Amino acid sequence: METLIKQLNSLCDSQPFQTGWHLKNLRTGETCERNGDVVVPSASTRKISILMAALQAVNEGKVALDQPITIQAKYQDNKSGTFQHFQPGFTIQFRDVLVMMIIVSDNTCTGTVVDMLGLDQINAYCRSIGMKGTTHRYGIPPRISRDHPLDAVTTTTPADTGLLLDLIIQGAKDPNAAARLGCTPSLCQLGVDILSWQKLNWRLPALLPMGTIVAHKTGTGQEWRNNNDAGVIFQNDQPLFILSVYTEHVPLEMPDGMPGYTIAGQHIARLCRVCYDALKV
């Protein structure tokens, strides 16, 4: 892993913005990271822990996957996803609310789920599984400037998100790992499936071989301050490694005039491809 770490850090050092990452080789169990415990804005990667807290509620019988949920206008004043553009009052199943929250990062769905569960419960859930650097602060993101303080937004760390993904992928096979998430293996597998249906695929998966399965969630910070992605990368239908990448203080414009947010996304894609080439079987 030493050579790989040097490659990853060299790519990060070449950028005029902060990068934190956490990597776990799922074949050997080895882990490494850069700024792994540094607290940063989570952006929409927060929705992974919201998803799993919701699946815990399903396991506890507090809500059912096939329970009808009415989409309300009060959650539609946001900038993310598709349901913001729909006429309110339509009904879908709770399972589909979770799917849309992840695969197109729909904030109408996210606000609905957060209010159903409660912020206190979501934060307690994160603490219970060891996500010590993660704090959820809202359902619908506030409209604030890109120079906001950390405590104005939901925050996490690369290591926290890596831990959560590790527990989810373990939990799909191991009842004990699933129990740590308050779930069953089948619910953990549903979590993996939903993450693998992600439609926003120009970051972690962008440079991987066509058809590579990546179970992941992206995140865009306030006014493009951050570009994040975290997920499980598969090879031949088997989980190969976990990579969570968080960029911070990305400039609106790079020295060459290119948009910083786009370059940060391409940077994430390169980091992922370097890991894939080093770790593939």
Q: What does the pLDDT look like over 231-254, one tens digit per residue?
A: 999 999 999 999 999 999 999 999
- List, in order, residues 6 or more apart from 61 with CB less than 8 Å away: none
* Per-residue model confidence (pLDDT) at position 237: 92
Domain locations in the chain as residue ranges: 17-279
Name the CATH superfamily housing domain 17-279. Answer: DD-peptidase/beta-lactamase superfamily (3.40.710.10)
Considering only CA atoms, which of 225, 204, 200 is closest in space to residue 43?
225
* Residue range 9-66, pLDDT digits in tens: 999 999 999 999 999 999 999 999 999 999 999 999 999 999 999 999 999 999 999 9
- List, in order, residues 6 or more apart from 272 with CB less than 8 Å away: 203, 204, 205, 206, 207, 208, 233, 243, 245
Per-residue pLDDT of the chain (281 residues; tens, 9 = 90+): 899 999 999 999 999 999 999 999 999 999 999 999 999 999 999 999 999 999 999 999 999 999 999 999 999 999 999 999 999 999 999 999 999 999 999 999 999 999 999 999 999 999 999 999 999 999 999 999 999 999 999 999 999 999 999 999 999 999 999 999 999 999 999 999 999 999 999 999 999 999 999 999 999 999 999 999 999 999 999 999 999 999 999 999 999 999 999 999 999 999 999 999 999 99
**How many Å is the maximal CA-CA distance in the chain?**
55
**In this structure, are residues 162 and 134 in contact, taking their beta carbons and an 8 Å threshold?**
no
* Per-residue model confidence (pLDDT) at position 222: 94
Tokens describing residue 219: 């995140």
* Per-residue model confidence (pLDDT) at position 43: 98
* Cα 161 to Cα 2: distance, rounded to the nearest angstrom: 22
Of the chain, the end-to-end C-alpha distance in Å amounts to: 14
Q: What is the DSSP letter of 39?
A: -
* Per-residue model confidence (pLDDT) at position 157: 98
* Per-residue model confidence (pLDDT) at position 163: 98
